[in-house]
Structure 1
């Protein structure tokens, strides 16, 4: 059946294709902006915040304190998932995505104006913590909506992995732009970067938000939500309902992300502290290497999303989890040579195993939840990983190195994350190329086959 705008009026094939293109572009650009904001904070945390907001602390303690504020954003993400998952399943994907973009962008813009410890003492860190929490709430609601905005406009079941991977593309794109902005401003002479240069990329985010807002306002609601609205199948409390119906899928989605999220933040945030402070490497070398690594993911994320359409979402994801677990040892072995060439290679290659998981991940998680609960379920499962994986990762890595004085201890932690993800992914359902348009708890009409199984 042709896609619809209102649940009753069919769109022509040409218009449906046009809306798919717009949805993919809007989701990708929107997530790029959102992740630019989020990664900008993580990059600057390791380079600036410990010095400016915790100058009275020992350098290692100051770094831990700065990463604690960094972790607040991750604690806030499940809160955002619950809030915006509810509204995404109640009032629609489009309206919710507009709000998350504004919330994230304004909070990031305001970081540019937070006074340092020298000016207002500990209140500077308090303000950073509040803004970081608001950032996390925005990101918590962003991912689920962006993925569904693209995936639910897919015209065939056989390309969902590829189409849903494009919002994931926003992560390396945002990482690239954030590191490019910091790299450009860090070239300032003397103490200019530490004094005020780091604030420029945060202030610049307001321009990106205006662009993203313009693009998101131009798209239609997804056919799935339009159908649910027309058939009056909107849940009153979708977040509570999905917790009641599919708690296992939520928890498995979170644990499946361990090998993807924890190492990613070690490789893109903790590496600046480890590389500059411990190994004595050039800050710009590390920034440039992360830039190149993120550029590689421009290709590898959609590539592995496409491969998941061919060999199955779960199989591709498990292969990626194994690769992540092994690569941690290679990564720290190369870094510990203190050779700039090997360091550069280690960082650039670090995001290839990540892409093997991140490409198929959007469809793998979102397909696990029935349509009327999909925004809530996918968001909760995805963002709960922030508490157990992404947020604690730089803290755990810092603590492990402080105790063992070896990167191999961190590599063992990465391996443990890989094992957990393999187990969780093997227990998740695989909906590759299955019809997910019908609600999973509805019996198919007489003679119909091929629909996704009932929700567990």
Structure 2
């Protein structure tokens, strides 16, 4: 109990700096998501012709999305690497490193020669840089989440954690907004050099993020286990193999939401522009508005989860996804701009925000302090790789070869069922302490408590 009181006092002393902690976590995450998401938009709009010009349009789109998926494959690797050192060295230093890795990788994409200039080396280098992006993002999310919730006062983790999660919609707003601007250029200029602008801007964002994060202290909870000499020798192994149920639940909780959001932001852009002949500016506008709305709904769901719990929103989110999987495409087929925008707004908030908004609090609550970075990061990123990395490719292939979106809808319902089952096996964690009082209990999961 004395350990809990000591950490609670340390957190109380830092309440005045809580705004700085949240701001640093959110701003850095916005930058990371901006860097990661502009690649997805470019893959859907322009990379197929610039880097894969000698194959038919459908195969070129699939190849472009495949390079996009490489970043997702790299994310669990980044989660494992940075999670390991984040649990052994500290949360803050890993956040600084991941930001540099991501920003530099993104900047170099903007400098990359195309297929016409260097031939096959262009797509090869594109894949390598996308892999580097994935490594950076894989370590970013867990560190930012822990930096905030391990500083947060009791009973407010859902709210403060959700403020980290708004980094995604704000990153989506900035990335889609910048691309919406550059796509207004003449087509020749856009394909020649305009598409590079969003990538080159990442260097400027890096300076802002570095300045803000350098001022944030290490979390009092990590400082306490370091003082006690309770650092895990191999946090990754301890998180996965000594806490398999927590790990599998975390993977299952992520799979539906991450697939849903990348179907909305990547596949729909490809499908609507190529099959429905809708203007890409309309889709980018719809995503832009939906992301702005989610900046409000994500903190709302996080705040509510501190009162009524985390699990209820997963049940609601998966049920919405299953029920809306077919109407989503029916509504898009109307080709009515207002209906399309409203459809994307509703789909993003209720099929994504209900679950995503809680994850910065919920996932770390499943693991003990010694392995929290490793367990939460790897579970989150592995599921993101499986659901987010491959769902746009599978959906594009299904729509192309089946001649419709029924297969895509069935896939979304199946993934929602997986998350629904994972929620059944999960337990409520909103009242769980993040402090490991007994060293012998460090690493115990919220499920086993």
Same fold by TM-score greater than 0.5: yes
Residues 112 and 426 of structure 1: CA distance in aligned 2, closer, same or farther (over 3 Å): same
Residue 379 of structure 2 is matched in structure 1 by 381
Contact kept? 1:440, 1:455, Cα under 8 Å:
no
Residue 61 of structure 1 is matched in structure 2 by 59
- Distance in 2 (CA, whole Å) between partners of 1:346 and 1:2 is 52
Structure 1 window deviating more from structure 2 (398-407 vs 280-289): it is 398-407
Contact kept? 1:3, 1:223, Cα under 8 Å:
no
Residues 126 and 318 of structure 1: CA distance in aligned 2, closer, same or farther (over 3 Å): same
Residue 150 of structure 2 is matched in structure 1 by 152
- Distance in 2 (CA, whole Å) between partners of 1:377 and 1:8 is 22
- Distance in 1 (CA, whole Å) between partners of 2:447 and 2:415 is 30
Residue 296 of structure 2 is matched in structure 1 by 299
What value does the CA root-mean-square deviation take over the aligned residues?
A: 2.1
Alignment pair present for 1:274 and 2:274: no
Deviation of the 1:259 alpha carbon: 1.2
Residue 320 of structure 2 is matched in structure 1 by 323
TM-score, normalised to structure 1, is 0.94
Alignment pair present for 1:349 and 2:365: no
Residue 47 of structure 2 is matched in structure 1 by 49
- Distance in 1 (CA, whole Å) between partners of 2:91 and 2:239 is 17
Residue 96 of structure 1 is matched in structure 2 by 94
CA deviation map 1:313-369 (0-9, x unaligned): 112222111112212222111011222222222222221111011111221111000
Deviation of the 1:453 alpha carbon: 5.5
- Distance in 2 (CA, whole Å) between partners of 1:12 and 1:80 is 29
Deviation of the 1:387 alpha carbon: 2.7
Residue 166 of structure 1 is matched in structure 2 by 163
Residues 289 and 148 of structure 1: CA distance in aligned 2, closer, same or farther (over 3 Å): same
Residues 8 and 289 of structure 1: CA distance in aligned 2, closer, same or farther (over 3 Å): closer
Alignment pair present for 1:114 and 2:150: no
Contact kept? 1:19, 1:220, Cα under 8 Å:
no
- Distance in 1 (CA, whole Å) between partners of 2:270 and 2:198 is 20
Aligned counterparts, 1:179-198, within 5 A: 179-198=176-195
User: What is the number of equivalent residue pairs in this alignment?
Assistant: 446
Aligned counterparts, 1:112-151, within 5 A: 112-151=110-149
Unpaired runs of at least 5, structure 2 = none
Residues 190 and 133 of structure 1: CA distance in aligned 2, closer, same or farther (over 3 Å): closer
- Distance in 2 (CA, whole Å) between partners of 1:10 and 1:279 is 59
Contact kept? 1:3, 1:11, Cα under 8 Å:
no
Deviation of the 1:19 alpha carbon: 2.5
Q: Equivalent residue of 2:429, what SS? A: coil
Contact kept? 1:140, 1:383, Cα under 8 Å:
yes
Deviation of the 1:443 alpha carbon: 6.0
Residues 3 and 112 of structure 1: CA distance in aligned 2, closer, same or farther (over 3 Å): farther
Aligned counterparts, 1:7-18, within 5 A: 11=10, 13=12, 15-18=13-16
- Distance in 1 (CA, whole Å) between partners of 2:268 and 2:251 is 24
Residue 448 of structure 1 is matched in structure 2 by none
Residues 232 and 403 of structure 1: CA distance in aligned 2, closer, same or farther (over 3 Å): same
Residues 12 and 94 of structure 1: CA distance in aligned 2, closer, same or farther (over 3 Å): closer
Q: Equivalent residue of 1:437, what SS? A: coil
